[in-house]
Amino acid sequence: MEKRVNIVEGDPATRSVAEKMAKLRIRLNKISLQTKKNNDVATEFQKGMIKIIVHFTSKEYSKIFMDYNTLEDVYSWLFREICEAGHLPSNLLLKHGSKEFPLKANTKDMPVTDITSPLEVEELKRANQQGGSGSSLAAGFSKHAIRFDLPTDIRLLEGMSPTQYLCAHCRCDEDLTLLYKTAFIKQDKDRDGKINVKEMERALLFVYKPHENHIQKLYNLTSINEDFKMDLKLFIALACLMSRILYKEPVNDAIKPDTITRKDVLEKADFYALDWRVSEVILRTDLRILLSYLL
């Protein structure tokens, strides 16, 4: 019997928060362009140090950048700080020597959980940077951010459950790991290092924008039931699997799967001739189904 899944779609009003954050990208680009128009300022700007100060409700974060030509690194750093702090900043201040460039976020300091999806923010940021959206965003967040692999000795998979396989043979890059960890911590209310399936669903909605059938597919592939609990490592693995589900089973108003991930050469090599490799190995049926899906 299939598990029933209830997903609450994000309030359209919260999308404006993501849009406002994406506009910060435009403001940063404008400052970069303005400095290039003025040779004296541009020379000083590129050779000197730039300090960014971000004000949250009760905290101040700052970072110094040295010798760079654009402000792209600034935005990447700011995005990480926002994820870790859990709040959008109300005001930003860029300092270069005696010069100050205030960056008004034009929004109240508010929880990041009010944003439908941090990956939507990343998509908006790249859309603004590239001057539009569309299939060109396939090179966006990180094409090869996630990788599933197989052991050299395939017999090591004998007796493994789908969740055990995912924990042992899923690789995720640093940026996505940070997002997954942030989502997990926000749902781990009792701080015991574990979340249940309902909390997992909410955590996935923080990162992606899946449909009900995507969540159901995740349950079907992993044999997870309503009583299941998971730690951070397993949640990261399940979030990686969700990215692959979104990639393989796109839905129009779900987050664009090309901006999430696709297989890299090493993964393709690992899964080459999969049926032949596992033909003489005793694997659990549910693991065979999962591996065939990843093929």
Domains of the chain, first to last: 13-130 (no CATH), 144-294 (1.10.238.10)
pLDDT band at 71 (very low <50, low <70, confident <90, very high): very low
Is the predicted pLDDT of residue 285 greater than 80, yes or no? yes
Distance CA 281, CA 271 (A): 15
Mean pLDDT of the chain: 65
The conformation of residue 143, written as its DSSP 8-state character, comes to T
Which helix (H) or strand (E) segment holds residue 76: the answer is: helix 72-85
Helices 197-207 and 174-187 meet at what angle, rounded to 10? 130
pLDDT at 151: 85
pLDDT band at 9 (very low <50, low <70, confident <90, very high): very low
Distance CA 164, CA 85 (A): 31
Of 148, 109, 105, 123, the residue nearest 248 (C-alpha)? 148
Of 283, 201, 291, 182, the residue nearest 244 (C-alpha)? 291
Residue 176 or 42, more confident: 176
Distance CA 159, CA 29 (A): 53
Is the predicted pLDDT of residue 17 greater than 90, yes or no? no
Residue 137 or 237, more confident: 237
Q: How far is CA 120 from CA 136, 256, 263, in A?
A: 15, 9, 21
Beta-bridge partner residues of 195: 230
Q: Provide the percentage of residues in the chain whose pLDDT is more than 90.
A: 14
Task: Say whether 71 sits in a helix, a strand or coil.
Answer: coil
Distance CA 261, CA 264 (A): 9
pLDDT band at 44 (very low <50, low <70, confident <90, very high): very low
Residue 70's contacts (CB-CB under 8 Å, 6 or more residues apart) are 32
Task: Say whether 219 sits in a helix, a strand or coil.
Answer: helix
Q: Could you tell me the two tokens for 94?
A: 């860029």
Cβ–Cβ contacts within 10 Å for residue 35, how many?
A: 22
Distance CA 103, CA 112 (A): 19
Q: How far is CA 279 from CA 140, 275, 276, 285, in A?
A: 38, 6, 5, 13
pLDDT (mean) for 69-79: 51
pLDDT at 6: 33
Distance CA 125, CA 127 (A): 5
**pLDDT by residue (tens digit) across 112-157?**
333 334 454 454 445 445 444 333 222 334 444 788 888 888 889 9
pLDDT (mean) for 48-61: 51
Contact of 89 with 105, CB cutoff 8 Å: yes
Contact of 27 with 103, CB cutoff 8 Å: yes
Q: Among 12-16, 129-133, 180-184, name the one with the lowest average pLDDT.
A: 12-16
Residue 115 or 62, more confident: 62
pLDDT at 33: 47
**Angle 127-254-172 from CA coordinates, rounded to 5°:** 75
pLDDT at 35: 46
Contact of 39 with 233, CB cutoff 8 Å: no
Predicted TM-score (pTM) of this structure: 0.55
Is the predicted pLDDT of residue 96 greater than 90, yes or no? no
Q: Among 38-42, 59-63, 287-291, name the one with the lowest average pLDDT.
A: 38-42
User: CA-based Rg of the chain, rounded to a whole angstrom?
Assistant: 22
